[in-house]
Amino acid sequence: MSFATAGFVAFFAALFLLYYAIPKKHQWKLLLAGSLVFYWFAGWRCLVFIGVTALSTWFAARKIETLAASQTEALKAEEARRKEAGDPLTKEERKARKAAAKKVRWRWALGCMLLNFGILAVMKYTGFLLSIVGVSFRGFAAVMGISFYTFQSMGYLIDVYWGKVPAERNFARFALFVTFFPQLIQGPISRYGDLAKSLYAEHGWNNRTIGRGALRVIWGFAKKLIIADRLAIPLKILTQKPDLYTGWNVALVIVLYAAELYADFTGGIDITIGCANMLGIDVAENFNRPFFSKNTAEYWRRWHITMGTWFRDYVFYPLSTAKGMLRLHKACSAKFGGFGKKITVYLTTLLLWFVTGVWHGAAWNFIVWGLLNGIVILVSQELEPLYARFHGRFPRLKPSKAYGIFEIVRTFLLMSLIRVFDVYRDVPLTFRQIGTIVTGGTAVRFGELGLSSADWIIAGIGIAALYAASFLNVREPARDRLVRRPFLAWAGATALIVLIIVFGIYGIGYDSTAFIYNQF
């Protein structure tokens, strides 16, 4: 089930009403049931997959926690014994025993990760991997949300392994964490420590919270249906026959895709978080005015935040602090001096972005996209001393508003340029298309891109509205201010719903020529 359907609205309305009607202590159980029903619409096969992940992770985490407890006990006992015997444990011996115990726990964690990442890899990447060796294979049917729930579960497992979070001993409660339905479609990827605070709690009816959530959901639908789906029309035309649309058309693709992806992704997240909020549950934010970032590093702290932090905490840091990597660092800095110290940093960063690219999709263009992001980050890191010297020479430039705007525009264009690998899908083609911006290409004909001028105006107004909302939300989300004035909130919600129904892109378009009676 996707969000923008009457089915989802009906499903959520029913769930919402039941949720506040039943005794509060059963609310989380209702959520679990609802999530399973929601997932069941994706196919009962999918339920098997998510069930395996939930079960294996729950079991492994409990085992690791139990082991940790028993191992600590055993160590304490041995320590006491040895002390009594007059032969206390040395620091090295203690460290060795701790390391050995950790290794046992690690095997459980590793096993569970191999299983679940393995399932993800097979389901998602078999087709791609086989195509590399020349075997054509359409690939397995998609399992809804597998990238998201696998990562969310593995994050929990690793947190338990690290002792950051207590294992959830109740399987039903854990299952809810894995299958929580608003997150299954496009995230955000939650941490157990964060989500568990409100997921299982009892929630009473609260006008403000529910109102805020509802406004957010409606706003999300507006973004998706009015702006994103509308911009998707010219984008499809521009990218399906790339040879016909080169030069400035490619520039148009870059800008339109930025707007379309932003509206679609943040709209979906708004619906997700809004629904969760309406149920009294807090979910981490996934976007924070990303197009106002001044550099690439900042962009990735503002766009798809939960993915960025997940990869940082569970891939980047572990990779860079692994014994092997640290040994390599020592060897490189010994051999190559100052430059050598940077080698492992580069290696880790590029590996990180390679994996990020792969996570996005099973195709070369995603890998190239990921690596390009990594390269840009490393290059701007290297250019820092240069920038520092430049700004030293013009000290009044950096804090000025104009320079700030320049940085924002530069980052926006750079990120949007890289992002276009997403939309052309073929790597050499993408490079070629971008090249034509400079060398020149076909003319841009707005009237032939599937949107009437009235539609372009609506799209323009929509984008302007997104901008305005960004500014309104700086200090405090506008909807928070809105719910404090109920009448305005109701009026706003009603107006927005009407706008969505009238201007949304859905259903069969009206083409009066189809109605003209025609016998031949």
Would you state the structure tokens that stand for residue 40, as one six-digit string?
């069941």
Among 28, 148, 292, 316, contact with other proteins (rule: CB under 8 A)? 316
Contact between 508 and other proteins per CB under 8 A? yes
Exposure letters 412-424 (e unless 16+ CB within 10 A, then b) = bebbbbbbbbbbb
Distance separating alpha carbons of residues 436 and 372, to the nearest angstrom: 19
Residue closer to other proteins, measured from CB, 47 or 499: 499
Positions 244 through 283 that interact with other proteins (CB under 8 A): none
Interface with other proteins by CB under 8 A: which range of 50-58, 137-145, 256-264, 338-346? 338-346
Exposure letters 316-343 (e unless 16+ CB within 10 A, then b) = beebbeeeebeebbeebbeeeeeebebb
The closest alpha carbon to 143, from 179, 196, 109, belongs to 179
Positions 285 through 304 that interact with other proteins (CB under 8 A): 297, 301
Do the Cβ atoms of 75 and 100 come closer than 8 Å? no
State how far the alpha carbon of 153 is from the alpha carbons of 57, 156, 174, in Å: 7, 5, 9
Among 41, 137, 171, 317, contact with other proteins (rule: CB under 8 A)? 317
Among 44, 84, 141, 323, contact with other proteins (rule: CB under 8 A)? 323
Contact between 163 and other proteins per CB under 8 A? yes
Cα dihedral sign, 402-404-406-412: negative
In whole angstroms, how close is the CB of 487 to other proteins at the nearest point? 9
Contact between 514 and other proteins per CB under 8 A? yes
Do the Cβ atoms of 86 and 38 come closer than 8 Å? no
At residue 363, what is the residue type?
Answer: A
Residue closer to other proteins, measured from CB, 298 or 426: 298
Q: Does an H or E element contain 67, and which?
A: helix 44-84
Residue closer to other proteins, measured from CB, 326 or 383: 326
Distance separating alpha carbons of residues 311 and 419, to the nearest angstrom: 19
Positions 388 through 407 that interact with other proteins (CB under 8 A): none
Do the Cβ atoms of 111 and 154 come closer than 8 Å? no
Contact between 318 and other proteins per CB under 8 A? yes
Among 74, 326, 397, 464, contact with other proteins (rule: CB under 8 A)? 326
In whole angstroms, how close is the CB of 117 to other proteins at the nearest point? 17
Among 66, 320, 442, 470, contact with other proteins (rule: CB under 8 A)? 320
The closest alpha carbon to 167, from 75, 79, 245, 66, belongs to 66
Contact between 131 and other proteins per CB under 8 A? no
Residue closer to other proteins, measured from CB, 26 or 312: 312
The closest alpha carbon to 181, from 10, 39, 28, belongs to 39
In whole angstroms, how close is the CB of 184 to other proteins at the nearest point? 24
Among 171, 446, 471, 490, contact with other proteins (rule: CB under 8 A)? 490
Interface with other proteins by CB under 8 A: which range of 45-53, 191-199, 413-421, 489-497? 489-497
Contact between 150 and other proteins per CB under 8 A? no
In whole angstroms, how close is the CB of 311 to other proteins at the nearest point? 10
Among 422, 426, 455, 480, contact with other proteins (rule: CB under 8 A)? 455
Q: Give the three-class secondary structure for 516.
A: coil
Positions 74 through 113 that interact with other proteins (CB under 8 A): 91, 94-95, 98
Angle, nearest 10°, between helix axes 401-419 and 364-382? 150
Residue closer to other proteins, measured from CB, 266 or 349: 349
Residue 263 buriedness (CB in 10 A; 0-12 / 13-18 / 19+): buried
The closest alpha carbon to 49, from 97, 120, 111, belongs to 120
In whole angstroms, how close is the CB of 520 to other proteins at the nearest point? 8
Positions 182 through 241 that interact with other proteins (CB under 8 A): 205, 207
Those residues whose C-beta lies under 8 Å from the C-beta of residue 257, and which sit 6 or more positions away, are 235, 416, 419, 420, 422, 423
Contact between 504 and other proteins per CB under 8 A? yes
Residue closer to other proteins, measured from CB, 108 or 424: 108
Residue with tokens 């919270």: 209
Neighbour count for residue 433 (Cβ, 10 Å): 25
Would you state the structure tokens that stand for residue 35, as one six-digit string?
């999530």
Number of residues binding to other proteins, judged by CB under 8 A: 59
Interface with other proteins by CB under 8 A: which range of 67-75, 195-203, 238-246, 323-331? 323-331
Chain positions contacting other proteins, by CB under 8 A: 6, 91, 94-95, 98, 162-164, 205, 207, 297, 301, 312-313, 316-318, 320-321, 323, 325-326, 329-330, 333, 341, 344-345, 348-349, 377, 381, 452, 454-455, 486, 490, 493-494, 497-498, 501-512, 514-517, 519-520
